Chains A and B, each alone.
Chain A
Amino acid sequence: MNKKTKSVLWLAGALLVIVYPQMFGIYYANIVVTFAVYALYASSLNLLLGYTGLLSFGHAMYFGTGAYGTALALTHIPGLPLIPAVLVGFLASVVLALCIAPLVVRVGGNAFAMMHMAFGQLMFVLALKLRHITGGEDGIGGFDIPPFSIPGLFSLDMTDPILFYYFAMAVIVGSLWLLWFFTKTPFGQIMVAVRDNTKRVEYLGFRVPHTKAVVYVIAGGFAGVAGAIYALFQNLVAAYDAYGILTSFVPVMMTMVGGVGQFFGPIFGAAIFGLIDEFTTRFTDRVELVLGLVLVLVIMYAPYGFAGFITRMRMRWAARKAA
């Protein structure tokens, strides 16, 4: 693809995002917001799993902390504007990641995955037990969603689903762009090198634990942003949805199904999961069963996921054209 068609495609994509809620209405706009939240959440995990080769079974810690951070800030600080509320969620996750990073950056593989599972469960249990802060199983809900405003210029009511759609999409697409930009920086290259050959990176004079720590904090922070948007969108944060073990597994599954290590992989994955969820809930309650089956089939027959499948098709097409 040359540069011109690429920019035309991007423009068309942006136009579609803008006119979409006008064409399809609130219900489908909300589905897209959910998809976008998970796309950002899974992309932040992909930074760890796909780019740095660190599998985490506790990424929900950061998603949940972002969600609780924003919800608690809006509940307890009267008159907090919208953007600072999202920033509180982001910063809460960053702080948590900074606390946990020193413990986990020196391990990899199974130990990394399991330590995260344990820390994630610890957060889950704490959210359940510290009832006076988190509301336990019932969670925190019904906090006021502040309008998005620049004083003296304009003020947009965020309880209007269509306006909220635009706000959420702007934040999420912006975050995704930042993540994408990050993978293209020289530091992003070191990150991939850590995955492919840790020893070599060390010999080249880069500090592996530090690299991992930076990636880890960034991944945590963006998961926090996804959580914050989720909290605003649902106007409710409860322990199971925020910190539950399934919330940790979902982005891993999305990334695997979409294509691990490719930037658009988790985004495809989130879309596929959104579609599965939307269609299976119409026929059956057994969503987890269907997800499990999809996961097993993908691992068995398409280990590089949807994005890998597309790449292979494109290479085959290019080869045929060349022949």
Chain B
Amino acid sequence: MDASVAMYVAQGIHGLAYGMILFLVASGLTLIFGMMGVLNLAHAAFFMLSAYFGYQMLAWTGSFWLALLVAPILTAGFGILMERFLLKKVHAFGHMGELILTVGVSLIVLDGVKAVWGTESLPLKMPPILEGLVQLGSLQYPIYRLFIIAMALVLLAILSLVLYKTRLGMVVRAAVADAEMVNALGINVPLVFMCVFGVGTWMAGVAGVAIAPILTVFPGLADQMGMDAFIVVVVGGFGSLGGAFLVSIIGGLISSYGVQFLSQYAAVLMFVFMAVALAIKPMGLFGERE
């Protein structure tokens, strides 16, 4: 492999890793949207909150694995609390109230972490076993990013197995399609919603801890990821998991090759991609008409 090919491959894997993180965040967002018809604008804030929890766990226990395990669960707990005690209460006033409520929660979380942890970026050390480089042909590649890809793929496999091969998954998919009907069939739909909300925030939480060793933990973490995840959900089609996966990968590759070749305009590329995609398919690539 000569140097330029190696560079293409390296950027490709970079893009895959970012795409996988993006998918972990966007899949929760799109599932929650599919169920409640509301885009959870606090989703990216939870993603960041989990990174802070991870930092704190690591500082207390010294174990990255414990942080990766516990922080997302804590975050999911916050998500469930928000669903139970806030979102459900305003459901009667329509989607607009719910949407704006999530904005309020996201403001509280974003400013709350600044109050607790300050504004500087905090390092989150990766475990020694994932440090260093691995030899891929003539290319040396950091193990940690490969670990992210592997972990996301495992989670994706579990998620799709549960969603498409179990009774529980069938109930969830049915509730996404027509909540009222499923409720009428005697299934506790609010409980299903709460669980899906929890799982969605949990995945965003896993992504938050997983990306923290690369990007460090800082209050701006939510901005970039939040925007990219929204674009993925919009372009993939609201509520479509497959669309979210495909667009996450495309988005990851766009941003990594974009930084390489058009670094000046890398930040705009995702929006251009979205504009083009929406101009062709206004409801997203895999979306149905509202």
Contact = CB atoms under 8 A, between A and B. Distances in A.
Interface of A: 49, 55, 103, 106-111, 113-115, 117-119, 121-122, 125-126, 128-129, 245, 249, 252-253, 256, 260, 286-289, 291-296, 299-300, 303
Contacts of A108: 290
Interface stretch (B126-134, B140-148, B227-235, B243-251): B227-235
B282 A289 contact: no
Given A286-B115, A303-B90, A129 B38 contact: no
B93 A303 contact: yes
Given A286-B111, A299-B90, 12 more contacts: A108-B290, A110-B238, A111-B282, A111-B283, A115-B234, A118-B227, A119-B271, A122-B275, A129-B267, A252-B100, A291-B104, A303-B90
B99 interface: yes
B43 to A, nearest CB: 13
Contacts of B267: 125, 128-129
Give the one of A103, A114, A256 with max B CB within 10 A.
Answer: A114
Given A129-B267, A296-B108, A249 B103 contact: yes
Given A118-B274, A126-B268, A295 B104 contact: yes
A55 B96 contact: yes
20 contacts: A55-B99, A110-B33, A114-B39, A114-B234, A117-B230, A125-B271, A129-B268, A245-B223, A253-B103, A288-B111, A289-B115, A292-B111, A293-B108, A295-B103, A295-B107, A296-B101, A296-B104, A299-B90, A300-B101, A303-B93
Interface in B213-260: 223, 227, 230-231, 233-234, 238
Nearest to B271: A122
Contacts of A113: 39, 99
A295 B100 contact: yes
B32 to A, nearest CB: 12
A122 B108 CA distance: 25
A296 B86 contact: yes
Interface residues of B, number: 44
A289 B234 contact: no
Contact of A107 (B106, B115, B274, B282): B282
Given A107-B282, A286-B111, A125 B268 contact: yes
A292 B234 contact: no
B67 interface: no
Interface string B78-116: 000000001001100101110111011111101110110
Nearest to A255: B100
A234 to B, nearest CB: 23
A113 B112 CA distance: 25
B107 A129 contact: no
Give the one of B95, B108, B268 with max A CB within 10 A.
Answer: B108
Given A110-B238, A111-B290, A118 B230 contact: yes
B59 to A, nearest CB: 23
Nearest to A249: B103
A93 B150 CA distance: 47
A294 B103 CA distance: 11
A291 B107 contact: yes
Contact of B100 (A110, A122, A245, A299): A299
B265 interface: yes
B77 interface: no
Interface string B14-45: 00000000000000000001000111000000
A256 B104 CA distance: 11
